[in-house]
């Protein structure tokens, strides 16, 4: 699944995060990279354990909780604390695969990766997130406040920034449903149920819609790890 979710952050949240970015003490982005990624990573990050990162992460997590499409697609069980990075001119991140496990005290399995864009596309040149999957390569450069959700197993990179500054939030999550095909099926079914609710005037009592909703929850009950 590679999914673009629009307007996860509202205007006030974007403004708050941008103000906090101005207070950041930056560290080398390689501090959170594995051995292979260290060789191709060139960016800056807000220190992972800093109070500022925690404050900014709380803003993002609050926004995610109210984003029904994100919850439907990801079915998050655990979310790694959001991190924040900066790419200025000449910075990039070569092709890599995210570490399968994140965290040492409370480790999580990384099923899905998320990039939440905080800079507008016109604020920087280059800097596209390129994700490779079985259907080819996809270039992603989204409006501020939008995110892309994609498998952590994907080969991906950030192409060099040629001008301006690219700020973003990134994190990983462990889903309640480990199997990608099952997760995709549940997402498609959930979106179909939502669409039918909008189309049918008597949807709350429609017997076939109730049956479909029961199938969704019974599949989730069978596949979920909680």
| Residue 96 annotated as lining a ligand binding site | yes
Angle, helices 207-223/180-199, rounded to nearest 10 degrees: 160
C-alpha span between 148 and 73 (Å, rounded): 11
* Residue 110 · residue 78 · CB < 8 Å: no
Angstrom distance (rounded) from CA 130 to CA 126: 11
Q: Return the structure tokens found at 55.
A: 């404050």
The CA distance from 149 to 28, in Å, is 25
DSSP 117-169: E-S-GGGEEE--EEEEETTEEEEE---TT-EEEEETTSEEEEPPEEEE-EEEE
| Residue 152: count of CB within 10 angstroms of its CB | 19
Q: Any known ligand binding at 178?
A: no
For the annotated binding site for Fe cation, the residues are: 96, 98, 156
For the annotated binding site, the residues are: 96, 98, 156, 166
For the annotated binding site for 2-oxoglutarate, the residues are: 166
């Amino acid at each position: 699944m590679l999914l673009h979710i629009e307007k996860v952050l509202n205007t006030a949240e974007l403004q708050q995060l941008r103000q906090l970015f101005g207070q950041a003490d930056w560290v080398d982005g390689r501090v959170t990279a594995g051995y292979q990624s260290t060789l191709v990573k060139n960016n800056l990050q807000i220190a992972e354990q800093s109070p500022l990162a925690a404050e900014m992460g709380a803003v993002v997590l609050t926004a995610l909780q109210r984003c029904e499409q994100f919850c439907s697609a990801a079915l998050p069980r655990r979310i790694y604390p959001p991190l924040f990075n900066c790419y200025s001119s000449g910075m990039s991140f070569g092709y890599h695969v995210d570490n399968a496990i994140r965290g040492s005290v409370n480790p999580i399995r990384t099923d899905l990766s998320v990039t939440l864009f905080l800079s507008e596309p016109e604020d920087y040149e280059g800097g596209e997130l390129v994700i490779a999957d079985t259907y080819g390569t996809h270039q992603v450069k989204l409006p501020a406040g939008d995110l892309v959700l994609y498998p952590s197993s994907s080969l991906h990179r950030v192409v060099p920034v040629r001008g301006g500054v690219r700020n973003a939030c990134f994190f990983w999550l462990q889903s309640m449903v480990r199997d990608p095909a099952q997760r995709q099926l549940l997402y498609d079914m959930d979106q179909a149920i939502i669409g039918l609710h909008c189309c049918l005037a008597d949807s709350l009592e429609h017997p076939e819609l109730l049956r479909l909703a029961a199938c969704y929850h019974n599949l989730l009950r069978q596949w979920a790890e909680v």
